[in-house]
Amino acid sequence: MKYAIISDVHGNIHAFNAVLADAMSQVVDKFLLLGDYASSFPYGNSVVETIRKLESCVVIRGNGEGYLIDLQGRNPAELANEQFKPVYWAYRSLLPENLTYLAELPESAVLADRGTKIHLTHHMDLYFRKPKIELFHACDLRHIMKLAPLAHEGYLAQAKAALLNCPEAIAEIKAMPKGVHLSGHNHLQFHMEYDGKLFINPGSCGEPLDWDTRAAYTILTLTDAGWKVDERRVAYDLDAVAEGLEMSGFAAYAPVWSEIMDLELRTAKDYFMPFVIHLMETGKEVGATEFPVNDEVWKLAVSTWDVSKI
C-alpha cells in the first residue's frame, strides 16, 4: 500500500489541490489526513468539501477542529475578540454540513497493513516537552535557522539527535507500541525510525513553517523490504492565496492576523508566536496578565509590533 499523509491544510485550498494532484500522480492507494483543515486561510468550505469527496481516506480531527466545535451554540455577537478572529471567521463561514462533518471526526485512528499498525493522531506529546526540544517548535527553529541555516537533511539529523538525547523521550518511545506513528501540529516535516517504530510528521500542507514555502506532505509505502518514506514538497501559486485573503474580506475583518498569515505564507517562517509573545509581554507591562488580553492591551500591542525586529 502507498499512503499520502497530509496535515495542517488550514484553509489553504490552493496548497491542498497541489498536494492532491502530486499524490495522485504518484498513484497513492489511500489518503491519511491528520487534522486542522479549515481555520486560517479563508477557503475552509472548499477544503472540507474536497476532503468529503476523496475516495479511500482516513480523516481525523486536530485542535483546530476542536476550537470550531467549542464555538457551536455560541451567540455570534459574543465572537468579537480580536485574538480569535481567524477561528471565528472559519466557524461563521463554514456551511452547516461541513461544520457537522468536522465535529464528527474522530480524534485518532488506527489501521493495519500486513500486520503492522499505523497510528494516526494530530498532536503527539513526545515532541512537546519541558524543557523544550527547540527543533520541534517553529518559533525556536526560526532563531536557530537565523544563526545557522540548516538544510532539511541536517534538520532531520539534529532533531532526531535532540529527541534521543532526552531520557524521558526515549522512555516514552520504548513504552509505545511498535508500528508507524503519524502526527502533525507543529508544521515541521520530520521522520525517524527508532526501537522498531517509525515516526512521521508530514509537515504542513497549507502553512509550512520550516523555511520552505512549498506545500509539504509525505508518501509512505509498504514494500517487501519494509517501509519507504518519501518526504515531498510541492510548489503552488502563493499570490493566489494572498489575493484570496483580500478578496474574501478576511484582511479587512482581521488585519493583524491577515498580515501575519501573509508573511508566513511567503516566508515559511513563524510570525504567529513572536506576535503572541509580544502581546503577552505588552500585557505584563501594564499589569494585565490574563489571557485573552483586553482590547486596550491588544491595541497597544498592535501599535508597538515591529515585524522588522523579528
SS3 of 31, please?
Answer: strand
CA dist., res. 234 & res. 166, Å (int)? 33
This prediction has a pTM of 0.96
Quick: pLDDT tens for 63-91.
Answer: 999 999 988 877 655 666 778 888 888 99
Quick: pLDDT tens for 218-275.
Answer: 999 999 999 999 999 999 999 999 999 888 999 999 999 999 999 999 999 999 999 9
The residues near 82 (Cβ < 8 Å, ≥ 6 apart) are 254, 256, 295, 298
Q: Residue 249: what are its φ and ψ, rounded to 5°?
A: 95, -5
Inter-residue contact 50 to 13 (CB < 8 Å): yes
pLDDT band at residue 288, thresholds of 50, 70 and 90?
confident
Identify any residues that bridge with 47 across adjacent strands, giving them in sequence order: none
